[in-house]
Amino acid sequence: MPLVTYEQERPWAGKIAAAVEMKMMPPWFADPRYGHFANDPSLSEEQIATIAAWADAGAPAGDARDAPAPPEWSEGWNIPQPDAVVKMPKPVQIPARGEVEYTYEIVATHFTEDKWVQMAEVRPSSAAHVHHAVVYIRPPDSAWLRHAPVGEPFTASMLNDPEERRRAHETTSDLLLVYAPGSAPDRWADGMAKFVPAGSDLVFQMHYTTNGEAASDETSAGLVFAKKPPKQRVITLQLNNHALVIPPGAEDFRVEVQGTLPNDATLLSLFPHMHLRGKRFEYDIVHDDGNVETLLRVNYHFHWQLSYKLAEPRELKAGTKLRAVAWYDNSKNNPHNPDPEKTVTWGDQTSQEMMVGFFDVAVPAGMDKWQYFIRRREN
């Protein structure tokens, strides 16, 4: 459904009006009662009425002289031309059918000096098969996947070392960025950037899904470096609860997790992640007097893995208690539920579940991620 020119758009006028009137489009799932977000694309009632009136009037072209200049694309990247492109050197072969275990490819950056990444974008070569990509920054002193091959794809079950096999997904390495269909590149404000120490590798963790056609994929990450060293480092933290056990048929099953910030930090964005039974996800600050302040509540839709970027970054003091709460619908009323008879626990595949509240914070540039977060788990 290309919508670049008037001729391409016109046949879709009726569907466009219907999609915006139902508020299906543009996609946005934050409950408007909580928080304000810089990337909220919601249309105003007036804008929706304008689109509906335009479709009703037979979708006229209007005066060509009022048209905006066509957008300029920069060789496939949505960010400015990257200073470095880190590409998986060996393609991953994706079968036509079946489940594919998470596939990793570790790619050496060969950076001989520390780098600060202000913008980053992931581009798969076979986007139709990529359910998500998580790109980690593995510093040279990290022990994570140290015995795994570099520059070629592998899965956890292919690893020889049993401990490494079991703990393949567990790392304190920072995330460079997360990609899922529809997600936008990361662009950090001036004075803030992701840190990639000299000699780091980028670890691509790919979740491929099959769609009847075999393919191969070589995903790249494009990086734009900060022009000067920033004052603040952006790190991605997580509030996870791995211990979830969702009973069969439960309609509104609640799981929570809390954590305390050991140092001051500026909260930038929130990215809830669940699978097909995800129903609602909330981030709160639990104040000392017991008051709960909701930062974001998402009416979750698995097909839309979105990052919610705070319109006003929020200063959080050391000792702030953060809480994430997730609700799951494991009943037959959930149209995405693959099996309402099943007790559901944590797992990689979408028929299993996850409870991850990613959030990005800006911290003083010299601060390291692994020192940063203390977790307390509750069911």
Residue 110 C-beta: closest distance to ligand HEM, Å: 34
Nearest-angstrom CA–CA distance, 259 and 375: 5
Residue 183 C-beta: closest distance to ligand HEM, Å: 8
Site for ligand HEM in 42-81 (CB under 6 A): none
Residue 5 makes CB contacts below 8 A (sequence gap 6+) with: none
CA 239 to chain centre: 14
- Residue 137 or 298 having the CB closest to ligand HEM: 298
- Residue 16 or 295 having the CB closest to ligand HEM: 16
Three-state secondary-structure class, residue 234? strand
Are 344 and 250 spatial neighbours (Cβ–Cβ below 8 Å)? no
Report the DSSP pairing between strands 220-225 and 344-345. unpaired
Residue 370 C-beta: closest distance to ligand HEM, Å: 33
Stretch that binds ligand HEM, among 8-16, 104-112, 157-165, 363-371 (CB under 6 A): 8-16
Quickly list DSSP for 191-231. Answer: TEEEEE-TT-EEEEEEEE---SS-EEE--EEEEEE-SS--S
What is the longest distance spanned by two Cα atoms in the chain?
Answer: 67
Q: Does 20 bind ligand HEM (CB under 6 A)?
A: yes
Q: Does 15 bind ligand HEM (CB under 6 A)?
A: yes
Q: What are phi and psi of 279, to 5 degrees?
A: -120, -45
Stretch that binds ligand HEM, among 16-24, 93-101, 131-139, 233-241 (CB under 6 A): 16-24
Per-residue contact flags (x/-) with ligand HEM for residues 174 to 193, judged by CB under 6 A: --------x-----------
Q: Does 12 bind ligand HEM (CB under 6 A)?
A: yes
Nearest-angstrom CA–CA distance, 285 and 292: 6
- Residue 26 or 262 having the CB closest to ligand HEM: 26
Among 5, 6, 8, 26, binds ligand HEM (CB under 6 A): 26
Stretch that binds ligand HEM, among 20-28, 62-70, 124-132, 193-201 (CB under 6 A): 20-28
Stretch that binds ligand HEM, among 23-31, 89-97, 233-241, 308-316 (CB under 6 A): 23-31
Q: Does 27 bind ligand HEM (CB under 6 A)?
A: yes
Residue 335 makes CB contacts below 8 A (sequence gap 6+) with: none
Among 25, 158, 215, 367, binds ligand HEM (CB under 6 A): 25
Q: Does 14 bind ligand HEM (CB under 6 A)?
A: no
Q: Does 36 bind ligand HEM (CB under 6 A)?
A: no
CA 221 to chain centre: 14
* Upper half-sphere CA count for residue 137 (Cβ side, 13 Å): 25
Nearest-angstrom CA–CA distance, 185 and 39: 12
- Apex CA 332: angle with CA 329 and CA 338, to 5°? 80
Are 252 and 327 spatial neighbours (Cβ–Cβ below 8 Å)? yes
Among 6, 23, 32, 41, binds ligand HEM (CB under 6 A): 41
Q: Does 16 bind ligand HEM (CB under 6 A)?
A: yes
Residue 208 C-beta: closest distance to ligand HEM, Å: 18
Residue bearing tokens 């979830």:
244
User: What is the binding site for ligand HEM (CB under 6 A)?
Assistant: 1, 12, 15-16, 19-20, 25-27, 41, 182
